[in-house]
């Protein structure tokens, strides 16, 4: 899907993030201007410590900027209460983490269902959504298994299903291949590619140039600033 087809889903205007510890100021982000259009697939790359994860935390409403504006779906998120932020995270944002973050004593089905239970969604609708999400990542046959009974690649597929099940506006992937071998890493990247082809908006943080090339557009961060943007060859 061409990025020109979508309207602006996310806008960051002059976003800065400063961490204060023991009278030391650490400037994690320094004046970020960035737009993500609906249906776009963006990779954020750069060396360790350049601000990639801080940027993703702000996009996911897990952290707030020190300065600047963040608009999601044309709405400013600056003055939202904690409960409103949590509600938007649950409904609008799907997270895919490097370490999967599955709950060990819940089976695959229950892990994927969990975000929907917070919405107080009727059980019949929950069941339909979970089945759809597990089918999408080809893990329906493992729905009664527990995370410890799955390979790393399978756990990440379940994590993708959990991110998808709420039908969010955007998927945020933080080094989604970081704990996988190259074969499973490629499989997860193919899955993200297919989801994007079906219309998903994706913002992925990666330090691996092989995986960054899967995206439509690559944003390079260095010392908390965007130093380069490039469109990837399709």
- pLDDT by residue, tens only, the chain of 234 residues: 333 446 899 999 999 999 988 888 888 999 999 999 999 999 999 988 899 999 999 999 999 999 999 999 999 998 899 999 999 999 999 999 999 999 999 999 999 999 999 888 999 999 999 999 999 999 999 999 999 999 999 999 999 999 999 999 999 999 999 999 999 999 999 999 999 999 999 999 998 888 998 999 999 999 999 998 877 654
Instruction: Reply yes or no on domain 39-62+82-231 having CATH 3.30.300.30.
Output: no
Starting at the edge strand found earlier in the chain, the sheet holding 24-37 runs 24-37, 8-21, 67-72, 75-76
Asked whether the whole model's pTM tops 0.85, one would answer yes
Give dist(CA 33, CA 53) in Å, integer: 16
Per-residue CA distances from 94 to 14, 32, 34, 162, 221 (Å): 24, 22, 19, 8, 23
Pair 162, 132: CB distance under 8 Å: no
- Please report, for the chain, the start and end positions of each structural domain, with discontinuous segments joined by +: 39-62+82-231
DSSP character at residue 7: P
């Amino acid at each position: 899907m061409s990025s020109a087809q979508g309207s602006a889903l996310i806008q960051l205007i002059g976003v800065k993030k400063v961490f204060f510890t023991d009278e030391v100021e650490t400037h994690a982000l320094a004046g970020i201007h960035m737009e993500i259009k609906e249906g776009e697939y963006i990779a954020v790359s750069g060396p360790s410590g350049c601000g990639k994860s801080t940027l993703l935390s702000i996009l996911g409403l897990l952290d707030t900027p020190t300065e600047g504006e963040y608009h999601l779906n044309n709405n400013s998120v600056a003055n939202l209460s904690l409960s409103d932020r949590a509600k938007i995270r649950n409904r609008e944002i799907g997270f895919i983490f490097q370490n999967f973050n599955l709950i060990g004593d819940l089976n695959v089905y229950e892990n994927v269902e969990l975000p929907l239970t917070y919405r107080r969604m009727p059980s019949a609708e929950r069941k339909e959504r979970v089945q759809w999400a597990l089918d999408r990542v080809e893990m329906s046959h493992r729905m009664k298994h527990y995370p410890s009974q799955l390979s790393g690649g399978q756990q990440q597929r379940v994590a993708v299903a959990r991110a998808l099940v709420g039908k969010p506006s955007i998927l945020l992937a933080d080094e989604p291949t970081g704990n996988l071998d190259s074969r499973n890493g490629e499989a997860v990247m193919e899955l993200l590619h297919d989801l994007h082809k079906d219309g998903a908006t994706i913002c992925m943080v990666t330090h691996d140039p092989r995986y960054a090339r899967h995206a439509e557009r690559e944003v390079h961060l260095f010392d908390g600033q965007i130093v380069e943007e490039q469109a990837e060859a399709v």
